[in-house]
Amino acid sequence: MGRPGAIEVSRLKWSGGTLSAGRRAIPDEVPIALTYDGSSYAVMMATPSDLADFALGFSLSEGVVDDASEIESLEIIEVDGGIEARMWLKPAASARNRGRRRTILGPTGCGLCGVDSIAQALKPLQTIGSGALRVAGAELVAAMAALQKRQVLNTQARAVHAAGLWLGEDDLLVREDVGRHNALDKIIGAAALAGMATGAGVVLLTSRVSVELVQKTARLGAPIIAAISAPTALAVRMADEAGITLAAILRGEDFEIFTRPERITGEGRAHEA
């Protein structure tokens, strides 16, 4: 739900010493206002596609709701200058949220916008149990390659991030956005709507791994993150504390494992319920 993720604009191209006129697809970016029970909670700059997924995923990762069922209704509405994701909460969730409402203005690169204390930014994460999930290194490489092939919007615009949830073989959920945090929120929302077993999943990211992406992954309950770029030092520490396996700098056939390496094997994927 939402508008197309890319729009065409006129441009001049400099090549071989000459200019030529033409058109190019570029990613769209609009203010998305997230409101609960008639009050504004956040305004985030995002790509205006898969907005129901984004609204639900943001609500879950922010802790506004603990489950999708706590949202009584959700409407995506075009307004002057942007889009509103208008949500009404069930009574218990509404009462709980009333005491913690805050206003956030989040630019595209924002992950912890509006957090007003260090303790809030670094609050303890949900811990992922050791479980029995094991994934072969070659499978991570193949999953990342599949994610990149399914970046439809990035193929057009060459300027958006993707997040994926891989559950084995060809079971791959993909969402895209100009903001890497938004892309992961869209995955969280889509997975919740579909009732996916995220505890057996691998989060795939076409970006660096910063702490808020670890926090969102812990909220999702996925035990493994695999990313194209490097993690920050804080992301490594938080992933280890949360029991998350963090693999990064996954390019081509190679990658590096920074935390909980026991989940990555030289054999095929295995999981016991």
Query: Active-site residue numbers?
Result: 110
| CA distances from residue 126 to 4, 76, 147, 221, 239 in whole angstroms, order as listed | 35, 30, 26, 8, 10
Distance (Å, rounded) from C-alpha 151 to C-alpha 162?
7
Burial of 216 (0-12, 13-18, 19+ CB in 10 A): buried
Task: Let me know: does 231 contact 246? Beta carbons within 8 Å.
Answer: yes
**How many Å is the Cα radius of gyration of the chain?**
19
CA distance 265 to 212: 27
Written in H, E and C, the secondary structure of 194-260 is HCCCHHHCEEEECCCECHHHHHHHHHHCCCEEEECCCECHHHHHHHHHHCCEEEEEEECCEEEEEEC
